[in-house]
Chains A and B, each alone.
Chain A
Amino acid sequence: MVLGVPFVCFAAALMTDIAYARTFDIGWKNFSDWLLAGGMVVGALAAIVGLVDLARRSVRADWLIWPYAAAYAVAMILGLFDNLVHSRDAYGAMPAGLVLSALTVLALLVTAVLGALLMRRSSRGIAR
């Protein structure tokens, strides 16, 4: 599943954000910055694959594809803002960065649930 990599990256960034906010150890923030950048790059590539998929009528057959795509778009927008907020130095990225990481993971969880429902309803999953 294409969403696996960004999900792992953003979820791990949430963990390292929590670790930074609790310890103020800058190493955790550097981990967050790289994880968020990695999640964003792979996530954007996945979004391109998804958009190409959406061009196929068979993929659009199930209306559930639209909330699925919307949830993923929201996750990517949150992720982009999260990356920008994390570009601030030291604790300047907090607490907004931690909140954005949590919201991004939440949006990706919603995407995953909708994706799983889509898979169950269709014999041809859209997110390969």
Chain B
Amino acid sequence: MKRAVLLLAGASLALAGCARKGVDPDRQIGPDPWLPTISQYLVPPMHVVAPSPWGSATPSVPADLKVQAFATGLAHPRSLYTLPDGDVLVVETDGPPEPIHRPKDIVMQLIQAHGHGDAKAGMDIILLRDADGDGVPELRTRFLSGLKSPFGVALVGSDLYVANTDAIVRCPYQPGQTRITAPGVKLVDLPGGPIDHHYTKSLVASPDGSKLYVGVGSNSNITENGMDAERGRAAIWEVDRVTGAHRLYGTGLRNPNGLQFEPQTHVLWTVVNERDELGPDLVPDYLTSVRDGGFYGWPYSYWGRHVDPRVRPQRPDLVAKAIVPDYSLSSHVAPLGMVFSTAAAALPPRWRSGAFVGEHGSWNRGHLNGYKVVYVPFANGRPAGKAIDVVTGFVSGDKARGRPVGLGLDRTGALLIADDLGNTVWRVSAR
């Protein structure tokens, strides 16, 4: 009882607004982030910026780079995939409507709607062909239509795999093809509705092409939809490409996206969106290699063995096994895309030995964080050094002109960025 009153008093103080903005995110970049104590609030810190069109403006890049629009007028582009012949696939997508389980859901949906554009998302994959590599595609076709909240794409041989939110489907593909009309064949069901909180299913094929790896995000912030809703979620699945048989490769990963194999070591890496509502500086989102059978904490603990008191029953046995992630990107940046830059031949050499990360941006802290693309330098297959801002300027004043999501490299090795608020694909190359 006394503890509860103290908690309440603490929450009231927090409400007064002393510690809602958050510290300099720089303190949380790297392998050993500063971690504050947990703060729970009566009303959590929130800062959602209204959208505003790009007009003639573009994002900002360092002096040795230039940025141009590769494609505009898209319908909520979130993910990119470049085919071996150089054609770029842009996945237009959005999540299914969220069910309302609590009064809070109504309020949160209203608040989040403030930060989203009005335009309706596509459920298609658009093909862009820039045959001469000048950064201006000559051809734009509707490559695949009628998908269900698609996100991940992977090609192995002549089999094109698309990860819808509820299943991976396989379609036949030939180089040069600009439209697929053949019906897809379902390879395996994925956890989709009726609740489908984190719907994006990131997809990558193993270097030898035998397995697919799928990111399956949690069905809640922190188990508020019940543990039954979390079966098979907050995990990376390993799926046999032929049989569709699957197993959980990594678990405790709240919302893993941007799955990629590190080119030098062939180890699987991912960026992960961590939990909200523990304060502006908790919990850091991260970039990590994923160990076979590894458990990364969610929901029971974060950043290794820091227990989350909101989860009952607790599982000390699992907390004891929780792996500390490799590299913190700082709190609430919402990383949703990642690409290794070894093949980024159109960029100056200083950008070619690391990983680019697309940070969609925060809502759960006073000072905005994320809303940019950063570069994490690597050496010997591991992060080596501070993340550097590469593409910024997505927020101007208190308006968001764009929000980066999925990343890719085009046929020339330029960096591509899917901007789901600006409905644009940006292309970054050497100046």
Contact = CB atoms under 8 A, between A and B. Distances in A.
- Which residue, of A94, A96, A98, has the highest number of chain B Cβ atoms within 10 A? A96
Interface in A90-104: 90-92, 94-96, 98-100
Nearest to B222: A89
B146 interface: no
Contact of B311 (A29, A33, A91, A98): A91
A10 to B, nearest CB: 15
Given A30-B101, A89-B277, A99 B5 contact: yes
A27 B226 CA distance: 8
Contact of A99 (B4, B101, B223, B312): B4
A84 B220 CA distance: 19
Contacts of A87: 42-43, 102-104, 107
B158 interface: no
Interface residues of A, number: 25
A83 B104 CA distance: 10
Nearest to A24: B312
A99 B3 CA distance: 10
Given A24-B313, A90-B310, A92-B310, A33 B4 contact: no
Interface string B205-236: 00000000000000011111110000000000
Given A90-B224, A90-B311, A33 B102 contact: yes
Interface string B255-299: 000000000000000000000010000000000000000000000
Given A24-B312, A37-B103, A90 B222 contact: yes
B97 to A, nearest CB: 18
A84 B11 CA distance: 10
B110 interface: no
A66 interface: no
A42 to B, nearest CB: 14
Contacts of A26: 223-226
B7 interface: yes
- Which residue, of A91, A94, A100, has the highest number of chain B Cβ atoms within 10 A? A91
Interface of A: 24-27, 29-30, 33-34, 37, 81, 83-85, 87-92, 94-96, 98-100
Interface of B: 1, 3-5, 7-8, 11, 40-43, 101-104, 107, 220-226, 277, 309-313
